[in-house]
Amino acid sequence: MDSLTNTTAFVLEFDSKKSTITIGQKILATISSLIPYKQWDVIVAIVSDTVYTLHKEVVDHSLTLIDAIPINYNDTEQNKSYAYAEKYFNQLLEKQCTRNSLVMGIGGGVTTDFAGYVASAYMRGIDVVYVPTTLLAMVDASIGGKVAVNIKAGKNIVGHFHQPNYIIIDVNFLHTLPQSEWRCGMAEVVKHALIGDSSSLEILQNKEIQYGYINNSLYNCINSSVRFKASIVEKDEYEKNIRAILNYGHTVGHAIESLFEYTMSHGEAVAAGMLVESYISLKEGMPKADFDCIRDILSAYNLLPKISFDPRLIINHMMYDKKNIKGKIRFVLLESIGKPRIGCEVNDLLVMEALNFYLKMVSR
């Protein structure tokens, strides 16, 4: 592993609170200097079973430093549910958590999302700190304050906006990240690059990132991607306008996840969604050279899942999307790379054509 750039930190100023993001290598072991842990009466850490198995020593050491109480969490999309959360509300009560307590989420995007939801709802909202351990969670899921759980009808239907007080991004966790999870995170890195993160776009186009290599190119890409998303949500905390660009690829992506009953990873579904929505963008006037660039990047990093589905069912599942207005499906499309448009209505026939294009491409 290369010696990475020094630890960096920056503060986001929201209407609701300040949120500090720290990025570095092997920094979880210094957590007592990164958060003011003595200000909370009880600290409970919801820890991913997967992460605890792989990183037991550093997790135990770090939680001991701040007198935190660990609670294990079986981090699956099926367990990121409204019904499953009640178990954790009861455990917070048993640990005598008050409105002056802290919940930590240590794990991937499912864990940070779930921990955030629990913190947002317990006693009408208590503080939360995230330690994202997957690439997806680092660059996307942990940033922005959206917390939610799933119900049978769809993904992230029940939730709140609840900003974390601190996000601690320790890239050392990526050392044990499976390749499938790596691809999930890369999908969100690509998304940010295509909607405006030009620094990451250049790194991706130069093929500077490879699975298993935690080097300065990856660090710089993570740093740029995190700062890009942070800059967007800082301007629009409650998604009234510009923040909606972050939903590029997600209208189709969430529908695919729902159709497959969350057995497919979020990153894979979003990668498929980006290609479908880029095809729609092409037909709506995006330059073909830009479409070819998007397709080449998604293919080069092996992000497109080889799946089969009935396009009509995908369109049906899109009807549950939160961006819809008066029953009309709304897309984020690209005028060109780096120039997204929000709130776009698209004819169902074009959506069907784009979905069929995807099926044909991945079946080759």
| Confidence (pLDDT) at 344 | 93
Residue in the block written with tokens 């986001």: 12
6 has catalytic annotation = no
Residue among 96, 84, 99, 197 nearest 139 (CA): 197
Distance CA 216, CA 9 (A): 17
356 has catalytic annotation = no
Q: How many helices (H) and strands (E) does the chain have?
A: 13, 11
pTM for this structure? 0.91
Q: Quote the tokens at residue 303.
A: 């992000």
Residue among 349, 340, 343, 341 nearest 326 (CA): 343
Catalytic member of 250, 317, 323, 330? 250
Catalytic member of 239, 257, 268, 277? 239
| Confidence (pLDDT) at 352 | 96
Distance CA 57, CA 318 (A): 43
Residue ranges of the domains in the chain? 8-177, 241-362
326 has catalytic annotation = no
Catalytic member of 80, 146, 192, 317? 146
Q: Which CATH class is domain 8-177?
A: alpha beta
Catalytic member of 55, 155, 229, 330? 229
Catalytic member of 254, 317, 323, 330? 254
| Confidence (pLDDT) at 92 | 98
Give how far Cα 316 sits from Cα of 20, 106, 134, 136, 343, Å.
Answer: 40, 35, 31, 27, 18
pLDDT along the chain (364 residues), means of 10: 70 92 96 98 98 97 98 91 93 98 96 97 97 97 93 80 97 95 96 98 94 90 97 93 95 92 88 98 98 97 95 89 67 98 93 97 88
Distance CA 234, CA 25 (A): 25
| Confidence (pLDDT) at 15 | 85
- Scored b (16 or more CB within 10 A) or e, 190-228 reads bbbbbbbbebbbebbeeeebeeeebeebbbbbbbbbbbb
330 has catalytic annotation = no
- What does the angle CA 234 – CA 117 – CA 171 come to, to the nearest 5 degrees? 65
| Confidence (pLDDT) at 304 | 96
Catalytic member of 243, 317, 323, 330? 243
243 has catalytic annotation = yes
- CATH topology for 241-362? Dehydroquinate synthase-like, alpha domain (1.20.1090)
Please count the CA atoms within 13 angstroms of the CA of 37 that sit on its side-chain side.
19
Residue in the block written with tokens 């979880």: 28
Residue in the block written with tokens 């790596």: 182
Catalytic member of 124, 152, 240, 288? 124
| Confidence (pLDDT) at 154 | 67
146 has catalytic annotation = yes
124 has catalytic annotation = yes
38 has catalytic annotation = no
Cβ count within 10 A of residue 321 = 19
247 has catalytic annotation = yes
250 has catalytic annotation = yes
Give how far Cα 44 sits from Cα of 130, 209, 333, Å.
Answer: 12, 35, 41
